[in-house]
Copies of this chain bind each other. A is one copy, B any other.
Amino acid sequence: MSILFSRQCEYAIQGVLYLALKPEGEMTSIKELTKRLDIPYHFLGKILQRLAAKGLLMSLKGPTGGFALTKRAKDITLFDIVEAVDGSAFTKNCVLGFPECSGKNPCAVHNTWGRMRDEIYEMLVSKNISDMAKEMKKPEYRVAG
């Protein structure tokens, strides 16, 4: 069970973080990404294609081709990625899964969870990819070297 984000979304985050380490404009191939991050090749391909279709990434075919960010890493937040892949339903849905509860007469977890959800959202929009990526240069993140 993956928490908070789908597997696909986790891969997307990991991939974009890796791209953010590259000099602006440089293309990175799926091959390189999957080798470094230990993500299934074709699956990551699909994921990045979708991110490209949504405008978050650009892509180029052919040798020397690959993917790159369309904006500066400073201007991309975690939330941008999460929203593009998993959507933002978590900001609205009841955490207990009740389908028709408005929260007008809030139950015992409503406000508590509401605060946490806001904090999570705040975390996602306040963390930019550039800052996070810098932390990733450490060797322990290089899974499967």
Contacts and interface: CB of A to CB of B under 8 A. Distances in A.
A107 B13 CA distance: 13
Interface string A94-130: 0111111110111111001100100110010001000
B116 A132 contact: no
Count of this chain's copies in the oligomeric assembly: 2
- Does more than half of chain A's interface fall in helix, strand or loop, or is it mixed? loop
A41 to B, nearest CB: 17
Contacts of A106: 135
A39 to B, nearest CB: 10
Interface residues of A, number: 47
A43 interface: no
Interface string A65-88: 000000000000010000000110
A6 to B, nearest CB: 7
A141 B100 CA distance: 7
A86 B93 CA distance: 19
Contacts of A143: 98-100
Contact of A141 (B6, B86, B98): B98
